[in-house]
Amino acid sequence: MASDRYLRHAQIDWFSQPQLRASRVLVVGAGAIGNEVVKNLCLLGVGAVDVCDFDTVELHNLTRSVFLRESDIGGGKAPALVARAADLNPDVALGSIDGDFWECVTLGQLAQYTCAISAVDNFEARLRLNQMCLAAGVDLVNVAIDSRYAVIESFPFAAHWGCACYECHLPESVYARLAARYSCGGLRRRAQSTRQVPTTAITASVAGAVAVSVALRLGPAGQGGPGARRVLLDTIAGTSTVTDLQRNAECAGCERLTQRPQRLEPVDGESWPFAALQALLVQAPSQPPPVLQLSDALITEFECARCGPRPEAADYLDRRAAAYDDSITHCTSCAEPAIRVAVRQRFELPEFIARFHGKTVPAKFALTVIDGRTVCLDFEQESATCPVN
């Protein structure tokens, strides 16, 4: 019987199985940490868990991933993990999202989760998930490991708006490392070396257990927890350090977010999102005009320094810069790397409307401030339904 499954849980005075059952968690990353996180969520009886990862299974993953097998090599990590995790607990609704969360999960979908757990292995993905959770007001737990240490950071955006975000305490060395991956024009460099961090099943299992414990205290079961916090675990010395994280007033990620963003709804009978954009202009006729901060950097200029305007510019202008690398700066006419590319994320509202009206906006969302009110324009809103469950 289902009640017998959770018999030991029922004996814990602070434990609420009904609240766990009502929780819905998005796990981003199906590697070593993701395996441990999903294992614990399933054993605890969390209501729904969706796992997102674009990567495929490799042989070296098997030493650290409890759900993956040699027969999974070459296939997607997320579906392989979910297929075996389903055997742990039939009460848990499991779903896999075989792709990049930035491309596959909309703000509307993210807003339906109790918490997102970042189990990824690179800073860019962590920054992007932090950006989405801030815009959606969804709790975030970030997890990172190496061969000895585990770091678990919690950001209760739902209950404690205004707390520190993931980016508030990033060292300058991280930004320098990220900048080295891009050309001066803002495009990704073709030749990139992937930094692989050595890890073990020990740090992954410890990190996964603490991450789930922290996550369940952020949502309905814990009413948001104590605020943003970092736990550093030394799995060799057996010690831990807990640090309360204060908001950084100069943080690039949340400096402009002085209040919880309000998602604009489509206007009845009007084209979304441009009717809402026009309405913003009416609400704020004063100068200077509102500035939109887009979630994605866009290519706004493309011209050869030697040959002038190029006909292929139409293939790149107003597209996401992340879709291309610096190979597009090689001119097909003069055969020189002479193409000047400009990349932007900030647009004054009138310019943005003129540039993109009648087109699909190549960004997930945008933030702006109107009369002191922070507004979020969700450009994927019409398809904002749950991806799996």
Q: Specify the amino acid at residue 87.
A: D
pLDDT of residue 185: 72
pTM of the model: 0.90
Output the CA torsion 296→300→306→310 (10° steps): 110
In the chain, domain spans: 2-244, 262-383
| Structure tokens given for 367 | 């933030």
Reported as a single tens digit per residue, the pLDDT across 44-65 is 999 999 999 999 999 999 999 9
Candidates 3.40.50.720, 3.40.50.700, 3.40.50.2300, 1.10.3720.10; CATH matching 2-244: 3.40.50.720
pLDDT higher than 60, residue 153: yes
Sign of the CA dihedral with 238 first, then 244, 249, and 251 last: positive
- What are the tens digits of pLDDT across the range 265-292? 666 555 666 777 777 777 666 667 888 9
Kindly state the tokens that stand for 129.
């998930």
The pLDDT score that the predictor gives to residue 386 is 35
Taking CB atoms within 8 Å and a gap of at least 24, the contacts of 331-336 are 331/304, 331/306, 331/307, 333/304, 333/307, 334/304, 334/306, 334/307, 336/306
The helix (H) or strand (E) run that includes residue 108 is helix 107-110
Q: Is the pLDDT of residue 87 over 90?
A: yes
How many CB atoms are closer than 10 A to CB 145? 28
What is the predicted pLDDT for the residue at 385? Answer: 35
